[in-house]
Amino acid sequence: MSLERALNKRSNSSCELCGAKEKLAVYNVPPVKDVEEKNTILVCDTCKNQIESTDNLDGNHWRCLNDSMWSEFPPVQITAWRLLHRLKYQKEAWAQDLIDMMYLDDDTLKWAEATGEHVDPSTKIIHKDCNGNILFNGDSVVLIQDLKVKGGGFTAKRGEAVHRISLVHDNAEHIEGRVGDQHIVILTKYVKKTK
């Protein structure tokens, strides 16, 4: 069964957030890269555009989260949780009430927190690569120049891939990763995110 067909069956051919029936598309819930049913939701154009936008959300549209937050499917729960946090920071008081009612198990909460949308934007540390792409824990990057590794006694070569990076939580310019058999800290301005 195709992914879209499986999601249509799961959602009764409706947006899993607002219930709209038209212009539906698959949305892969970040930072998971595998486009599988367990990592995706079916959303309408309106929801998808607002999820991916950095502009303010339409608070009235998102009143639908009052229902969708109770979905049995983790990617729907996670998306609702993230949107409610964004709405909370837009001063939508009702969003905090819904957050207080939600329960996510430990694994689902870890996935939900991975993008940092629960953190107040005025205090949030955002890691970006040399092209301005936002980096997440678990991403893969490529070095864009040779880097001498202090204390390591070797040079990490340009073009070398670093998989499953970790973000340094208190410094937006640092990530950690394994180059060869060495675990090192790398400056974000020297890496490019790979798809």
Predicted TM-score (pTM) of this structure? 0.66
CB 184 within 8 A of CB 138: no
Please, what is the end-to-end C-alpha distance for the chain in angstroms? 26
Which residues of the chain does CATH 2.30.30 include?
141-193
Output the six-digit token pair for 45.
């154009």
The per-residue pLDDT string of the chain (195 residues; one tens digit each, 9 = 90 and over) reads 799 999 999 999 999 999 999 999 999 998 887 889 999 999 999 999 999 886 789 999 999 999 999 999 999 999 999 999 999 988 999 999 999 999 999 999 999 998 877 777 666 788 899 998 888 888 899 999 998 888 778 888 999 999 989 888 888 899 999 988 888 999 999 999 986
* pLDDT on residue 170: 81
Determine whether 177 is exposed, middle or buried from the number of CB atoms within 10 Å of its CB (0-12, 13-18, 19+). buried
* pLDDT on residue 119: 72
Strand, helix or coil for residue 138: coil
Among the CATH numbers 2.30.30, 2.60.40, 3.40.50, 2.40.50, which is that of 141-193?
Answer: 2.30.30
